[in-house]
Every structure is written in structure tokens, then in C-alpha cells.
Amino acid sequence: MENDLVTLSPAQKKARRSRNVAIGVALGVLVILFYVATIVKFGPAILDRAM
């Protein structure tokens, strides 16, 4: 088998990078949302617990 690699155009590379950035930002927002929801669910008393 020959090495049949696909060469992306600059527009395709830019689109791929934009998608990757969008996915990264969405994951970051989701993590922050879950963190805030956990704090809201347990209330401020979660910070006063014994370690």
C-alpha cells in the first residue's frame, strides 16, 4: 500500500483549528457550569466542613 495522505488546504486547516477551539471552549464552559451547580446545590456550608 502506498502512503495516501490527504493534504489539507489552508482554509480546511483554519476550519479544523476553529472547531478545535470551539470544542475546547465548550468543554471549559461545561466544567465551570458543573462546578457552579455543585456549589449551588450544596450551598455555602460546603466551605465550612472539617478537613
Task: Give the model's confidence band at 1: pLDDT under 50 very low, under 70 low, under 90 confident, else very high.
Answer: low
Q: What is the mean pLDDT of residues 13-37?
A: 96
Q: Residue 46: what pLDDT?
A: 72
Full-prediction pTM beyond 0.85? no
Query: What is the per-residue pLDDT for 51?
Result: 66
Eight-state DSSP code of residue 43? -
In this prediction, residues 2-25 reach a mean pLDDT of: 93
The counts of H helices and E strands in the chain are 1, 0
Domain boundaries, the chain: 11-50
Query: What's the mean per-residue pLDDT of the chain?
Result: 88
Q: Tens digits of per-residue pLDDT, 38-47?
A: 888 887 777 7
Cell numbers linked to 4: 495516501
